[in-house]
Amino acid sequence: MRIPSGRIRRVVRRIGREFRLFPDLTLVFLGDREIRRVNKKYLRHDRPTDVIAFPYHPSLVFPRFSGDILISLDAARRQARALGHPVWREVKILMIHGILHLLGFRDHRRSDRLKMWKRTGEILAKVERL
């Protein structure tokens, strides 16, 4: 899959406007094998995942919207197929999910997941056409 870098930049800028923050991100697109290695090494989960977010050090200029987001394109393809929507839409969902993690959202508890998915849906509606 070709990653549309111009569209990615527009989505990230739009999300930045939503939170009134300047985005300082690195987006990395990987396959399941590579993201599994990262997940195991840094988070001690020996399995692939769809997205991982690593915030930059909090003493940086833009601490609440700065970090690395790793997305598995293999997972994005599978999830898009399962949900019946385009892969690009799933990539946007995963980008939003990663950014929300950088902003402090968590998804370990059910109540936190519900808040996070509600906010994801709100943001997705604003970047749907990008």
Structural domains counted in the chain: 1
Query: What CATH number has the domain bearing residue 82?
Result: 3.40.390.30
Domain holding 35, by residue range, is 5-127
DSSP 48-90: --SEEEEEPPTTSSSGGGEEEEEEEHHHHHHHHHHHTS-HHHH
Mean pLDDT of the chain: 89
What tens digit of pLDDT does each residue of 77-102 get? Answer: 999 999 999 999 999 999 999 999 98
Could you tell me the pTM of the whole model? 0.89
Give 57's pLDDT tier (boundaries 50, 70, 90): low
Query: What is the per-residue pLDDT for 64?
Result: 57
Mean pLDDT of 62-91: 90
